[in-house]
Structure 1
């Protein structure tokens, strides 16, 4: 569950938030049909359907649909990247929409007698894999974190280490080139280990398993009917969300105008970032994320904007110089950013140690006892019929190891030569060290993700920020070198765990490993081209991108840059008493995580998540109100009709997110065309309104 835009826990909030709902649905469905299907396996149900060869799983229609959905999802992920950094999993939406589009396509061709190849679950898996790979680049590409953190706009906001050698402004050509030379290494690093992960260790990969269950259910007679109903629900709320975004646009002619600035709880609360901004996106995200995540976000908002920042602001002139301009790291802004960083790092360190320890214990058990694995078979039983079928096909379509090794070495050489030209402070020997260590770290991340569903890609990226940044030094562009190294490391370990998840999904849907690998390659290539273009559209359309009070503040860009500054400058960058507070929150995050793990499940599950609490420390609490509204809607729905909520909740949430997200595209085009909204809807206090009336009457 990755939760910071630079964060492992953000992306995982993303994955496990969705998979938990979907897995519950799967489990409920299985429990309800146990009596009927006691002796029936999934593969026996599909026994009458031939599995197409791996080349026929890769169809033109699959990649055409994948490209369209990749653009849609990249816009959604980019919008979330540049606002809060809380990104939900789009696996289910990709599977649902892929099923709907291709099923519609094939149904029309079938009626006209032109259908040559039926739509299979393997092709559906290829679409889902390609779309998620492409939209994943919008996250791991760092457009809302390390990559945008290199820019002059973010450097000005930090006011420290903003010399030219630590700045790299966005440009379409170098961003595309950078992503192409770093995004494929993780894929080649994990390919030789696919049999160990999936067959020998039988790792669970909860998100990949849940996605496979859903795709299998889509293509059974009963499942297809349910999928069509889910797609209709998604389409309905997609339309409502898009039209609501269009309607709101008419009232945003000016700064702080529109429904999104409605002072729901009063003007004083509005000043402290507490209000409901009528965002369909965050209501949908709240419906997807677990209830505890939403409550943790709200608690973080109350703790920071409701208690801490007003108290620290009251000590202006004592804790920090009263003449310091707003937004300076030496003032209140420094407390906001560095305390949030301390909480993120504390949570990251704890989970890094936990997952690595879990990985080492699991590996030791695997090596000592071949029968000890992620899913131990019942005593006295051999592999099930399903596992036998899946294992036979998985081993049949092998990907030669020499291709993976040669591919990794070739791309590593090209990357080592290319990257120093893009980022001069990132010397070639820094890159060589990263590429020597990367396969081991990619394996650890993929293995840990298989056990826990937690990807630690961002933690490895932060490790690269501090080590390479300190190695380069402040006087030799260490900030830029650290951020670039973060991008290299993060892309490798992130794509490795993503491909492992997809191998698991393909294993359970009888999709060939070769088709999965090719689909991931094509999806990654799509993402390397599409994501920078989408970011460039936002960058050119909104001139205030990255500013704290703008529509798209990109909070994690500043946080990541300040992590790099901390790595090369040391604690001298912190304002008075900030280090003490950082230490308290760093240790506090570790203690809270520890209590959650060792406490009794009856009460420990109610303890908030430190990573989630840290997100609103810098951004504000407005989006947490929206997410809690979404969580409340789902909670009430589950109480009224749990089966219906589990079946259609993710589809409704996906529709809300996709509709509002795709509205960003015409909104950006209107902004580029300098077409302004006609009305400014603004909310003023009584005293200000009287002054405005007097001024207008004069």
Structure 2
């Protein structure tokens, strides 16, 4: 397999794996199942397998077709880094023993007049100055066959051992559930306040991938939410139900504070990006218009580029028209996916759920949000789809007031386009660096998205038969965020005293976000700029509220491992292949639990349960 074939295979896999998130199977779909006639005036909406297939088909291709015309703008002309896509290209280059890819300086970073003050761009120097070894394509440092074989063998060995370790622990925990609910803080805190430790190796792997600063922000949020606000709400009678209850318990109470933090942080961070995007749109309309009206049979570059006066046109794109996506395919694909998606949503949810004109507007919002999400992802490696979804809900609170179903569905449709376009653009960046055909990647994305429709619908149907969703095993806190915001926008009803703490939380998020913006836009030699990565992330802080402590603690361990490992590599002056190894290990840990959890699903469906419930505590253990 060549590196180009490898990146196309990876592109197809990402398109397949993106669907559960893009189609809302961990967000809006569970949220619709939580509707109640007493509170919302409608019965719960539980999608069967066929309805899930139709819904997935409605949102499966919109983001794929949106990504194609944006490639020329954000990758070729502006040279946005897309850190994860660049890291993927480098990992593939290491696995194939070829010279590491070269990173171009982002176009906006070449001119001070266009430097942004919103999301901070991750420029090429962020990689060039890192502790790992960098080489340039075309240099004489190509690995020898023996070195390449050693790297590949070492990588597969690390992946195999991590996969086996995580999978074995997951299978053992299925038969002995107490393993994943250890009351390290005592049985009282575990049973009443949900303070348990889950030594999931998948959680540890996720923490390694997320990094120490992010996991630290999550655990700070966990301490504030579960260590301070949850007892405060319970002991003062503001949340009289069980702590674990999302309706009248302190877990549901602190969710509102998390919602305020997430919304405030997202809006503050998005505002500079929106301002920059609209400035480019109205100041240089011909450049953006040419994205939709190319002169040739393939998507071509703008004739009047926004940075034309600042950056020389160096013709970095050497792709021929037969390797690019034909413009007629893109145009008809966007139009067709919107039209067909609008019809399918109407068929699945009916006229009372959401009106066709509202669905059409949600697709158009998704197109705008895709531009914002792609630019933010290219500059920062963060796709702010959570904030974009909340913005969509705010819009539909005005367009279809009082309709909770329409608010959730329209927000989900708009978010799906931004999620898919952003995630797939990372793969396009990796393909650009490795010389893969954009057209082949496009067809890989179409194939992966089509396959994922049936895989996702089938997997969700099987899991809902075996487990309650939301439930102890799969709490899906994002579903409650979607539903609670829709209810709030409908009638403004809040739990006792939560409004006051929401204001404090939002104010905190605004201050932290403004501090991050100042750190990103300040001089590179200032103390604030040097320590900007340690400024808490508002979104990660809020996630610490949404999930129980067991979710955050194991991830913190992974973050500490990642930080310690890279500090060690920095002191030892080790190479890039050594730096990548920890990501391979983390991937094995996540993959091992994911694969073996399917085995657990099959065992549960055929009636094979836990061997022993010894050690399980009430309300914190999933043992039946």
Q: Does 1:407 align with 2:333?
A: yes
Query: How far does residue 168 in structure 1 lie from its aligned partner after superposition?
Result: 1.3
Equivalent-residue separation in structure 1 for 2:556 and 2:270 (angstroms): 28
Query: How far does residue 401 in structure 1 lie from its aligned partner after superposition?
Result: 1.1
Equivalent-residue separation in structure 2 for 1:324 and 1:230 (angstroms): 47
| Structure-1 residue corresponding to 2:271 | 353
Q: Superposition pairs for residues 317-466 of structure 1, below 5 Å?
A: 319=238, 327=245, 329=247, 332-360=250-278, 367=305, 369-370=307-308, 372=310, 391-393=317-319, 397-424=323-350, 425-466=353-394
Secondary structure of the corresponding residue to residue 522 of structure 1: helix
| Structure-1 residue corresponding to 2:297 | none
Q: Superposition pairs for residues 150-169 of structure 1, below 5 Å?
A: 150-151=32-33, 154-155=34-35, 160-161=39-40, 163-164=42-43, 167-169=44-46
| Structure-2 residue corresponding to 1:260 | 180
Equivalent-residue separation in structure 1 for 2:461 and 2:214 (angstroms): 31
Query: How far does residue 329 in structure 1 lie from its aligned partner after superposition?
Result: 3.7
| Structure-1 residue corresponding to 2:457 | 532
The structure-2 alpha-carbon separation of the partners of 1:400 and 1:147, relative to structure 1 and needing over 3 Å to count, comes to: same
Task: Decide which of 516, 523, 531 is 2:441's aligned counterpart.
Answer: 516
For the 8 Å contact 1:329–1:575, the answer to whether it is kept is no
Secondary structure of the corresponding residue to residue 518 of structure 1: helix
Q: Does 1:680 align with 2:613?
A: yes
Equivalent-residue separation in structure 1 for 2:254 and 2:38 (angstroms): 15
Q: Cα deviations across residues 383-410 of structure 1 (Å, max 9, x unaligned)?
A: 5xxx85xx22365523221221112222
Secondary structure of the corresponding residue to residue 648 of structure 1: helix
Question: What is the number of equivalent residue pairs in this alignment?
Answer: 534
For the 8 Å contact 1:394–1:512, the answer to whether it is kept is no
| Structure-1 residue corresponding to 2:413 | 488
| Structure-1 residue corresponding to 2:50 | 173
Secondary structure of the corresponding residue to residue 555 of structure 2: helix
| Structure-1 residue corresponding to 2:63 | 186
Query: How far does residue 163 in structure 1 lie from its aligned partner after superposition?
Result: 2.3
Query: How far does residue 179 in structure 1 lie from its aligned partner after superposition?
Result: 1.1
Structure-2-length-normalised TM-score? 0.80
Q: Does 1:561 align with 2:489?
A: no
Equivalent-residue separation in structure 1 for 2:501 and 2:280 (angstroms): 37
The structure-2 alpha-carbon separation of the partners of 1:368 and 1:673, relative to structure 1 and needing over 3 Å to count, comes to: closer
Equivalent-residue separation in structure 2 for 1:348 and 1:394 (angstroms): 39
| Structure-2 residue corresponding to 1:80 | none
For the 8 Å contact 1:148–1:170, the answer to whether it is kept is no
Equivalent-residue separation in structure 2 for 1:272 and 1:646 (angstroms): 39
For the 8 Å contact 2:229–2:254, the answer to whether it is kept is no
The structure-2 alpha-carbon separation of the partners of 1:410 and 1:325, relative to structure 1 and needing over 3 Å to count, comes to: same
For the 8 Å contact 2:211–2:562, the answer to whether it is kept is no
Q: Cα deviations across residues 141-196 of structure 1 (Å, max 9, x unaligned)?
A: 21111111101xx235x9731522xx311211111111112221122233233322
Q: Does 1:626 align with 2:564?
A: no
For the 8 Å contact 1:218–1:227, the answer to whether it is kept is yes
Q: Structure 2, unaligned stretches of length 5 or more?
A: 99-144, 285-303, 520-527, 619-624
For the 8 Å contact 1:423–1:484, the answer to whether it is kept is no
| Structure-1 residue corresponding to 2:193 | 272
| Structure-2 residue corresponding to 1:218 | 95
Task: Decide which of 641, 661, 664 is 2:597's aligned counterpart.
Answer: 664
The structure-2 alpha-carbon separation of the partners of 1:331 and 1:627, relative to structure 1 and needing over 3 Å to count, comes to: closer
The structure-2 alpha-carbon separation of the partners of 1:511 and 1:367, relative to structure 1 and needing over 3 Å to count, comes to: closer
Query: How far does residue 545 in structure 1 lie from its aligned partner after superposition?
Result: 2.5
Secondary structure of the corresponding residue to residue 605 of structure 1: helix
Equivalent-residue separation in structure 2 for 1:631 and 1:135 (angstroms): 24
Structure-1-length-normalised TM-score? 0.72
For the 8 Å contact 1:596–1:607, the answer to whether it is kept is yes
For the 8 Å contact 1:159–1:328, the answer to whether it is kept is no
The structure-2 alpha-carbon separation of the partners of 1:585 and 1:545, relative to structure 1 and needing over 3 Å to count, comes to: same
The structure-2 alpha-carbon separation of the partners of 1:286 and 1:324, relative to structure 1 and needing over 3 Å to count, comes to: closer
Moved more, 341-350 or 196-205: 196-205
The structure-2 alpha-carbon separation of the partners of 1:369 and 1:325, relative to structure 1 and needing over 3 Å to count, comes to: closer
Equivalent-residue separation in structure 2 for 1:206 and 1:603 (angstroms): 20
Secondary structure of the corresponding residue to residue 423 of structure 1: helix
For the 8 Å contact 1:281–1:660, the answer to whether it is kept is yes
Equivalent-residue separation in structure 2 for 1:452 and 1:638 (angstroms): 20
Q: Superposition pairs for residues 67-146 of structure 1, below 5 Å?
A: 119-146=1-28
Note the aligned Cα RMSD (angstroms): 2.6
Secondary structure of the corresponding residue to residue 194 of structure 2: coil
The structure-2 alpha-carbon separation of the partners of 1:568 and 1:230, relative to structure 1 and needing over 3 Å to count, comes to: same
The structure-2 alpha-carbon separation of the partners of 1:224 and 1:188, relative to structure 1 and needing over 3 Å to count, comes to: farther
Query: How far does residue 367 in structure 1 lie from its aligned partner after superposition?
Result: 4.5
Query: How far does residue 639 in structure 1 lie from its aligned partner after superposition?
Result: 4.1
Query: How far does residue 495 in structure 1 lie from its aligned partner after superposition?
Result: 1.8
Equivalent-residue separation in structure 1 for 2:461 and 2:223 (angstroms): 35
